[in-house]
Structure 1
């Protein structure tokens, strides 16, 4: 990092998660990212497993001093659902990370959110790549939080696009739609240049990580032998990469590719959360369109659907900037460059 690099302080609120894992690696590899804290919520896997996963990745990467706090272990109202069939029994696919020695913070995630934005008003970007439960709970205790946060970036929702959980709902919103409603309503007070940025399925399902991307990452990291993931491999084949970061990442992503293949989506992995991480650092990576976003809570078939009013038909001001386009090739170029170089440094 050069002396002129401007640091961007971030709170990460996650449900790690295979794609959350790569998002964390991307931020660790980005010199402009200052990870202030990681708050954990239940989603892909239970919240305590999420916290362990984050501690394990941090320790594997030699990063000390990042607070990892436990937050909501259940949604605001509805029962918890998790998706180990998508992310593996521990949430990190076939990877088996060494058990971390660092402890989970004694502070609850809501306290971390509130204390951080109050101590650094107008500075911190919130990045939520899981359900919005922790942030919703923090808003109940600190209604002024939206005005204290510099900006919020959310991975979630689907607009004029099929869901990945029900026909109309995206996973993060479906896990806790009531929390999402609380957040979108609360952030309606922020000025236009600080509206939340939403990375929804419409764009994130275009971020398709394929075996050649893993091979390129391994090459950039100087890992041997060549990291070849093939759809013809035996199910669950484990990596023998010499580089520890590449080996564990490859084992995690292989599981994700196997899942997508089983869902007839191809031998690939949708990297929703790393894209949101990249947008948090550099919003110019995506083209956005302002809209008024709300969440359906009462629909028998559509509970959890995110609805965008693009034309002002509700008579309410826009409360979000939705990413509607990006260049996936440029995104993967940055991932390979940054994470590959970082993995080489870590060893």
Structure 2
């Protein structure tokens, strides 16, 4: 059954992988790309979303989102990881397309209300747009089919953070928004470092994507050069972790993942700012800031080989 999604994204390199994965797979109907700051500044990220739409003849809408977090001071764009232009500094032309006139969070509200129970929100950047939608129209929690988030780190397999010892980048960029989204009364699944660091696009794998997936594969290979150079320098590996595409894989086939259920809170200040904590045991405490919050799912394991097969099969079929 085809799943309608709005993909909230900060278009950098792994975002492009996720966007084209969603566009390619026949089980997903990509309704819109809503943009948010993060890997790139909002203007750059929105340009990148429009570029992908134009280059690959995508039919989805593009709506520009917010340029900064709810409360905390903004964190700079991830230029060291994604390059100045967000796409590994390859040459790209400015698109001639324009964005939807509504801000991203308003677009989400309108789309969900127009098709209650049908749309899954997939967020692979900071969660500010989703939090703004909740603040403006809290009733949408009963109308969204599901919320799938790439972000967070819960310590499974030793994965606790990537921008600080205990925080993942998307959550760290706006911890207040993340806490709002995780504690809202709608069904959330978090696909974080616990599983994205268990799947790996090797250099050889990306060569196969280039060789078998036509123009799309060549584009993904081109933008990944900068990304892989970062991974090589920082971690000494020949490849990259499968971050944002893992959220798309979950939407397509949740059976690839094992999930754990329980309420989630986010540390919003101090040295552990951005840390995500799930209460997954039914214990009683005198003080418990989790007990009255809705239980959400956290992915804790993944069939990584099946995920890689799903991505390559989708992109190969799309190229034909």
How would you bin the TM-score normalised by the shorter chain?
A: over 0.9
SS in 1 for 2:235: coil
The 5 A counterparts of 1:173-212 are: 173-186=171-184, 189-190=185-186, 195-212=187-204
Higher mean alpha-carbon deviation, 309-318 vs 17-26, is at 309-318
Alpha-carbon separation, structure 1, partners of 2:315 and 2:83: 23
- The answer (yes or no) to whether the contact 2:167–2:274 under 8 Å persists in 1 is yes
SS in 2 for 1:164: coil
Change (3 A) 1:276 1:58: same
Please say if 1:128 is aligned against 2:123: yes
Higher mean alpha-carbon deviation, 76-85 vs 95-104, is at 95-104
Please say if 1:301 is aligned against 2:277: no
Please say if 1:218 is aligned against 2:216: no
TM-score (norm 1): 0.86
Q: Which residue of the partner structure matches residue 24 of structure 2?
A: 29
Alpha-carbon separation, structure 2, partners of 1:327 and 1:98: 38
Shift of residue 112, structure 1, vs aligned partner? 0.6
Alpha-carbon separation, structure 1, partners of 2:3 and 2:90: 30
Shift of residue 283, structure 1, vs aligned partner? 1.3
- The answer (yes or no) to whether the contact 1:17–1:50 under 8 Å persists in 2 is yes
Alpha-carbon separation, structure 1, partners of 2:49 and 2:6: 13
- The answer (yes or no) to whether the contact 1:14–1:40 under 8 Å persists in 2 is yes
Measured against aligned partners, the alpha-carbon deviations of 1:200-254 in whole angstroms (never above 9, x if no partner) come to 1111011211111112223323xxxxxxxxxxxxxxxxxxxxx432222112112
How big is the alpha-carbon RMSD for the aligned residues of Structure 1 and Structure 2? 1.4
SS in 2 for 1:38: strand
Shift of residue 289, structure 1, vs aligned partner? 0.9
Measured against aligned partners, the alpha-carbon deviations of 1:69-118 in whole angstroms (never above 9, x if no partner) come to 11110111122221111111111114333321111221110111100111
- The answer (yes or no) to whether the contact 1:96–1:248 under 8 Å persists in 2 is no
Change (3 A) 1:262 1:284: same
SS in 2 for 1:105: coil
Measured against aligned partners, the alpha-carbon deviations of 1:262-283 in whole angstroms (never above 9, x if no partner) come to 1124121112100101111221
Alpha-carbon separation, structure 1, partners of 2:115 and 2:74: 33
Gaps of 5+ in 2: none
Measured against aligned partners, the alpha-carbon deviations of 1:49-75 in whole angstroms (never above 9, x if no partner) come to 1111111112111223x2101111011
Shift of residue 334, structure 1, vs aligned partner? 1.1
- The answer (yes or no) to whether the contact 1:220–1:341 under 8 Å persists in 2 is no
Please say if 1:324 is aligned against 2:294: no
Alpha-carbon separation, structure 1, partners of 2:64 and 2:91: 21
Q: Which residue of the partner structure matches residue 143 of structure 1?
A: 138
- The answer (yes or no) to whether the contact 2:14–2:244 under 8 Å persists in 1 is yes
Alpha-carbon separation, structure 2, partners of 1:265 and 1:294: 33
The 5 A counterparts of 1:56-71 are: 56-64=51-59, 66-71=60-65
Alpha-carbon separation, structure 1, partners of 2:167 and 2:51: 31
Q: Which residue of the partner structure matches residue 239 of structure 2?
A: 268
Please say if 1:76 is aligned against 2:70: yes
272, 281, 299: which is aligned to 1:311? 281
Gaps of 5+ in 1: 1-5, 222-242
The 5 A counterparts of 1:75-114 are: 75-81=69-75, 82-114=77-109
SS in 1 for 2:305: helix
Shift of residue 297, structure 1, vs aligned partner? 1.4
Alpha-carbon separation, structure 2, partners of 1:87 and 1:319: 34
Alpha-carbon separation, structure 1, partners of 2:91 and 2:177: 32
Runs of 4+ in structure 1 deviating by more than 6 angstroms, as ranges, are: none
TM-score (norm 2): 0.93
Alpha-carbon separation, structure 1, partners of 2:99 and 2:293: 40
Give the number of equivalent residue pairs.
310
